[in-house]
Structure 1
Amino acid sequence: MTIKRVPTPAGDQAWLVTGYDQIRTLLADRRLGRSHVDPDNAPRFIDSAVLGRPRQGTEQEENERHTWMRRMLAPSFSARNMEKLRPRVRQIADGLLDELTGQPQPADFHEAVSFKLPVLVICELLGVPYEDRETFRRWSEAMSTLNDPEKSQQGFANLGTYMGELVERKKKEPGDDVITRLIEGAGPGQEEVIAQLSAGLLFAGHETTVAVIDRGVMLLSINPDQWDAIRENPRTIPDAVEEILRHRSPISTRSDDIGMPRYAMADIDIDGVHIQSGDLVLLGIEQANRDETRFPEPALFVPRDSNPHLTFGHGPRFCIGAPLARVELTEVFTALVTRFATFGLAVGVAQLTPRAEQLVGGVAHLPVRWTAL
């Protein structure tokens, strides 16, 4: 059964969907979203400010808000503009690897590269001062804390306040950045909306990519044949990146009875199951990415000719930051295989510390060793 009732981590009931075809269909269904007409009494997913509860709204309001957001952001995050950014991302990656190789081995790749690269890039794009990175890092981590609702809400509030102040500064001192363009495109009276949107971009623009870069290093370390293969033929790196995006982390602590939370904003019937308006639906993206009908031998880590994973979603809500993430990932792994003869974990996977209390997961540290070419 690919659709069943399960308890959420917060203790409420939800529909869990795990089949690839069903999830792909629901991702494209505009009746499923982040809104609920009665959010205070809606089923809870987790006790966190991020994805914990739905926002207030109807199906029409949600889709109008989403259309407006896509229209505002699409030009800045288009695939063409992200390709123009590629040389700058390459420069940043090379600089960070220069710093890494200046450290004694083993060195913490998570702290030296995985965290810094996405933060540097998203700060430049948005116009956020990079020197504030440690401050908003604390707030981002607090926001996505799963076991401390008060800490999560405080982090959310702090980041929102920070972005609100930055928006006001940008109105007086505009720059060549996304926040300035949002201010110019939205017009007066939209400052709070822009601050919220910018806070979401800042959070999503680095937290998830950090975890994927770390995951790629782990997967290539425990699959040295794939490291050798992409070193011999760097043109296959985009395929390797797609497999990293599809694959589950080697240290995943997530239950299979969990998924991306969405709310039915109208009654939905799928595969003989009736989902009522207001019900919480968990889309098991990780499970869909391991569906054997789409991915033969899904446990294998191997670049595939066809890799229609759902990590970035599908349809009208396909992740707007996907082109940016792909540029960052291809550039960092290209830099690794063209600079090092060997590169990988300095400890076994079992010795790594998972960030189990964080919504995006990942690891706390990633000690690595290398041999330069």
Structure 2
Amino acid sequence: MEHVEDPPAPGCPGIRRITTPAGDPAWLVTGYEAARSLLADARVGRSHPDPGNAPRFSESTLFGRPWGRVETERAEHARMRRLMARAFSAGQSEALRPQIQATAERLLDELAALPRPADFHRAVSQPLPALVVAMLLGVPAEDSERFHRWSDDWTHADDHQRARSGMENLRAYMTDLVRRKRARPGQDAISDLLGVADGSGEVTESEVVALATTLLFAGNETTVAAIDKGVLLLLRHEEARAAVWRDPGLVPLAVEEILRARSPMPPDPATEQLGIVRYAHCDLEAGGAAIREGDLILVRKLDANQDPDVFRDPARFDVTRRPNPHLTFGHGPRYCPGAPLARIELQVLFAALPARFPGLRLADPASPPRRQPGRLTPHPENLLVTW
């Protein structure tokens, strides 16, 4: 079914009614202030007051339907956030920087040895986040290709059997790994979480499996997309690329702008309206819109990051933009716990590129790579570069 949109109601900037691909009504939130407010609002969540009759975005096992129970969601989320904070603390992420640096440099060495043009997506963007999250969780490096394949399967919005299979394979793998970590703990996030489970009873082994599976998936797929987007943006904007290549001190600002900016790849109509899925737990108002209990809310963070009331000349890719209060990692109590680690990965890679590949360029600058269709995270079919 095609998306059907109503025009924004008077007095409701950045929020409008749509019909989802599943045929259900929803609020699509694209304005910055409305998005920021709803992302932090405790009156909305992933659960639904009447889950059997909840509106859906699609049949996706990941984003299409409600999760959990309204009565317990807030307490469960707060508890899991405390555990995720242990796994993804800024200090623990920063401690991995030397290993991330060494891994990125090794992958760039392997890229340099390939015939030109070479696929940056396959050689660097895909393996780096998988290897980094493996370091964090204590996953054997030799297994990173397998779990990357399963997390990739999980993101297929138009192949529900493939998505479910990917999710189940990841969960089965993580169940086995957690049992091995219990028998032989190491210096890693899973062993740390198991120590909490054994010591305080705050978390069960099954919850460690669920949490580690989520971390394995989320820490991999979104960072792959950010690396691909960053390479495309820098190589398609000569002035920005020259500035970053000339001044490594711009890398942190450039990373924030990469996170904020739209991808140069054409959008995928199947997932174009997908946003952060939330359900209203009571009647509320946002951006002047009267949202009713049980309504589906789709918060489009990338659209909010283009709001001209917040970002001057938002369509411009500006690697010196400051301030840059983008919502890519969310806002409020659901702010992404993996943000510090993702930032370090991006900073390390984009600081290494100028010295290693000063002449890096797109093999065919006139034709942007095509996006893999039906994917919840935007990956190119290939990202061919030369130097």
State the AA in 2 paired with 1:85.
L
* Runs of 5+ consecutive residues of structure 2 not aligned to the other structure: 1-7, 9-13
- Shift in alpha-carbon separation, 1:83–1:134, aligned structure 2, 3 A: closer
Aligned to 1:334: 351
Where do residues 38-49 of structure 1 align in structure 2 (5 Å cutoff)? 38-49=50-61
Moved more, 137-146 or 220-229: 137-146
- Cα displacement string for residues 67-123 of structure 1 (whole angstroms, at most 9, x for unaligned residues): 111111213312222222211111111111111111111111111111111111100
Of 88, 91, 105, the match for 1:80: 91
State the AA in 2 paired with 1:14.
A
Contact 2:31–2:303 (8 Å) recurs in 1: yes
Aligned to 2:148: 137
Moved more, 243-252 or 261-270: 261-270
Where do residues 207-246 of structure 1 align in structure 2 (5 Å cutoff)? 207-246=221-260
> TM-score if structure 1 supplies the norm length?
0.95
Aligned to 2:11: none
Moved more, 29-38 or 185-194: 185-194
Q: CA deviation at 1:39?
A: 2.5
Of 268, 283, 286, the match for 1:267: 283
Q: CA deviation at 1:366?
A: 1.0
Of 140, 150, 171, the match for 1:160: 171
Aligned to 1:68: 79
Cα distance in 2 for partners of 1:55, 1:117 equals 30
Cα distance in 2 for partners of 1:299, 1:85 equals 34
* Partner secondary structure for residue 337 of structure 2: coil
- Shift in alpha-carbon separation, 1:107–1:3, aligned structure 2, 3 A: same
Cα distance in 1 for partners of 2:178, 2:284 equals 39
Cα distance in 2 for partners of 1:170, 1:105 equals 42
Contact 2:181–2:191 (8 Å) recurs in 1: yes
Aligned to 2:4: none
* Runs of 5+ consecutive residues of structure 1 not aligned to the other structure: none
Cα distance in 1 for partners of 2:286, 2:131 equals 43
Of 350, 353, 357, the match for 2:374: 357
Where do residues 1-373 of structure 1 align in structure 2 (5 Å cutoff)? 1=8, 2-58=14-70, 60-187=71-198, 190-254=204-268, 257-303=273-319, 304-348=321-365, 350-370=367-387
State the AA in 1 paired with 2:278.
R
Cα distance in 1 for partners of 2:366, 2:262 equals 14
Cα distance in 1 for partners of 2:240, 2:141 equals 35
* Partner secondary structure for residue 342 of structure 1: coil
Cα distance in 2 for partners of 1:32, 1:356 equals 30
Q: CA deviation at 1:254?
A: 4.2
Contact 1:6–1:257 (8 Å) recurs in 2: no
Q: CA deviation at 1:140?
A: 1.3
- Cα displacement string for residues 210-249 of structure 1 (whole angstroms, at most 9, x for unaligned residues): 0110111100111011111011111011001000000011
Cα distance in 2 for partners of 1:160, 1:257 equals 28
Contact 1:251–1:350 (8 Å) recurs in 2: no
State the AA in 2 paired with 1:6.
I
Please give the root-mean-square deviation of Cα atoms over the aligned residues, in Å.
Answer: 1.6
